[in-house]
Amino acid sequence: MTTESFPHLRAGNDNIALVEGDTTYTYDTVNERIDRFATGLLGDKADLQEERIAFFIPASLDYVTVMHGVWRAGGIAVPLNVASAVAELDHYLTCASVTRMVANGEYQESLRELCAELNIELVSVDDVIAESAGQLPEIDVDRRAMMLFTSGTTNKPKGVVSTHKTIRAQITTLIDAWSWTSDDVIPLFLPLHHIHGIINILSCGLWAGATVHLFAKFDIPKITAQIQAGTYNVFMAVPTIYVKLLQYFDTIPEEEVKKICAGFTAMRLNISGSAACPVKLFNQWQELTDQVLLERYGMTEIGMGLSNPYDGERRAGYVGQPLPGVEAQLFDESDSPINEEGKPGEIRIKGDNVFLEYWDNEKATTESFKDGWFCTGDVAVIEEGYFRIMGRSSVDIIKSGGYKLSALEIEGVLLTHEAIAEVAVIGVEDDTWGEAVVAVIGLKDGASLDYNDLKNWCDGKMSAYKIPKQIKIVDALPRNAMGKVTKPKLKELL
> Where on the chain is the footprint of ligand MLC (CB under 6 A)?
190-191, 194-197, 217-218, 238, 240-241, 244, 273-274, 298-300, 400-403, 433, 464-465
- CA 278, 283, 288, 292 dihedral sign is positive
| C-beta closer to ligand MLC: residue 466 or 487 | 466
Segment lying near ligand AMP (by CB under 6 A), choices 215-223, 227-235, 298-306, 453-461:
298-306
On the CB side of 148, how many CA atoms lie within 13 Å of its CA?
Answer: 24
If the CB atoms of residues 82 and 267 are measured against ligand MLC, the closer one turns out to be 82
Give the whole-angstrom CA distance, residue 352 versus residue 349: 10
Judged by beta carbon distances under 5 to 8 A according to partner kind, the member of ligand MLC, ligand AMP, none in contact with residue 369 is: none
Question: Is residue 434 at the binding interface for ligand AMP, with CB under 6 A as the rule?
Answer: no
With contacts defined by CB under 6 A, name the span among 117-125, 136-144, 297-305, 355-363 that binds ligand AMP: 297-305
Q: If contact means CB under 5 to 8 A according to the sort of partner, which of ligand AMP, ligand MLC, none does residue 158 touch?
A: none
Q: Are strands 185-188 and 211-214 parallel, antiparallel or unpaired?
A: parallel
Stretch that binds ligand AMP, among 111-119, 173-181, 260-268, 290-298 (CB under 6 A): 290-298
Smallest separation (angstroms) from ligand MLC to the CB of 391 = 15
Residue nearest to ligand MLC (CB): 401
The type of residue at 425 is V
Question: Contact 143/153 with Cβ under 8 angstroms?
Answer: no
Q: Could you tell me if 151 and 157 are in contact, meaning their C-beta atoms sit under 8 angstroms apart?
A: yes
Closest C-alpha to 421, from 440, 441, 438, 407: 441
Tell which one of 389, 407, 410, 454 touches ligand AMP (CB under 6 A): 389
> Which residues are registered as beta bridge partners of 304?
298
x/- site string to ligand AMP, residues 228 to 267, per CB under 6 A?
----------------------------------------
Q: Does 409 bind ligand AMP (CB under 6 A)?
A: no
| H or E stretch at 388 | strand 386-392
Taking Cα atoms as reference points, which of 367, 360, 359 lies closest to residue 162? 359
Query: Which of 163, 166, 274, 291 contacts ligand AMP by CB under 6 A?
Result: 274
Could you tell me which of 62, 60, 56 has the C-alpha nearest to residue 19? 60
Count Cβ atoms within 10 A of the Cβ of residue 231 and give its class: 0-12 exposed, 13-18 middle, 19 or more buried. middle
| Maximum Cα–Cα distance across the chain | 69
Q: Which does 261 bind (CB under 5 to 8 A by kind): ligand AMP, ligand MLC, none?
A: none
Q: Quick one: what does residue 491 bind among ligand AMP, ligand MLC, none, with the CB cut-off 5 to 8 Å set by partner type?
A: none
409 contact choice in ligand MLC, ligand AMP, none (CB below 5 to 8 Å, kind-dependent): none
Reference 189, options 156, 251, 232; nearest CA is 232
One-letter amino acid of 60: S
For ligand AMP (CB under 6 A), the number of binding residues is 18
Q: Which of 92, 180, 264, 297 is in the footprint of ligand AMP by CB under 6 A?
A: 297
- Whole-angstrom Cα distance, residue 21 to residue 214? 8
- Which residues make up the interface to ligand AMP (CB under 6 A)? 150, 194, 273-276, 295, 297-300, 319, 376, 378, 389, 392, 399, 404
